Structure 1
Amino acid sequence: MSLERRISLITLGVADVARSTDFYERLGWSRSSASNDDVTFIQLKGIVLGLFSRAHLAQDARVDNTSPGFSGVTLAYNVPSEIGVDAVVKFVVSCGATLVKAPEKVFWGGYSGYVADPDGHLWEIAHNPFFPLDEHGHVVLPD
């Protein structure tokens, strides 16, 4: 097995989702209708930018929000199925990643787990049934 060379989402853990959303909208970037008061999604070219409370992002990954090792940024690799999440997590761990959170059904209706690369950078491996993938494996958000 190998992974496609892509990132589905970059999620920034922010202090104030509304303030950060306003900033990115002033840049001319539009939030998707998949956004809500707790999280903003912005479709970029081939990737999605997520804005989520830093505390909630740490809680989702089950890491300490105040830890010097938690940068407040996660990368996501989305796959089309729950079985795919399990397979990718197993493969990435076999390549030297550390399992941070075993894959499980999550509050937003998907299935995901977290791994850390050798330097502690967090990757969420996820299946999101609400975000289809295109033929290139890129997340496609609603407008």
Structure 2
Amino acid sequence: MGQRVSLITLAVKDVQASARFYDALGWQRATGPDDPEEVVAYNLIGQTLGLYSKAMLAADLGIPEDAIGGFSGMTLSHNVRTKEEVAPLLELAVTAGGRILKPAGDIFWGGHIGYFCDPDGHVWEVAFNPFSPLAEDGAFRWGGYGAEA
């Protein structure tokens, strides 16, 4: 597993209210016009910060919002180049002492994801996002790296 964090997801009660806060800070949304209202993204230097409904994130994990003691509603994401890379990285996490929270599988927005937690309970997502291809060096950017990168 490469040493990087691709996408920082903050689970929030009201995505659009939180987005207005970040907009007011002067951040520019990376979210396109066809993206679901449940997802707002901001490209950072080397990462993307995503805002996502806390209820939907808990549902993605298959847990009630209050089921995991200490679950803050934040996940760290490691993005990969192909959907076939997701499951082996989840298994690697288990081998290293982690625990799978949700096995690899397709998700409503067109990607392929799985979740694990480290021995301290920090939640990680391993994700293939066909709409955000990684740069040659593995860097992630919402919307991917195209000819303009």
**TM > 0.5 fold call:** yes
Percent of matched pairs sharing the same residue: 43
RMSD of equivalent CA atoms: 1.5
**1:9 maps to what in 2?**
7
- The 1:100/1:123 distance shift into structure 2, 3 A limit, reads same
Q: What TM-score results when the alignment is normalised by the length of structure 1?
A: 0.92
Q: Distance in 2 between matches of 1:57 and 1:135?
A: 29
1:93 aligns with 2:91: no
Q: Distance in 2 between matches of 1:36 and 1:87?
A: 29
Q: Which structure 1 residue ranges, 5 or more long, are not aligned?
A: none
Deviation at 1:32, TM superposition (A): 1.0
| Moved segments of 4+, more than 3 Å | 33-36
Q: Alignment partner of 2:124: what SS?
A: strand
The aligned residue for residue 120 of structure 2 is: 119
Normalised by the size of structure 2, how large is the TM-score? 0.89
Gapped runs of 5+ residues in structure 2?
Answer: 145-149
1:96-138 CA distance string (max 9 Å, x none): 1101101011111111100011111110101010111112212
Distance apart, 1:141 and its partner CA:
2.4
1:75 aligns with 2:76: yes
Q: Is the 8 A contact 1:63 1:70 kept in 2?
A: no
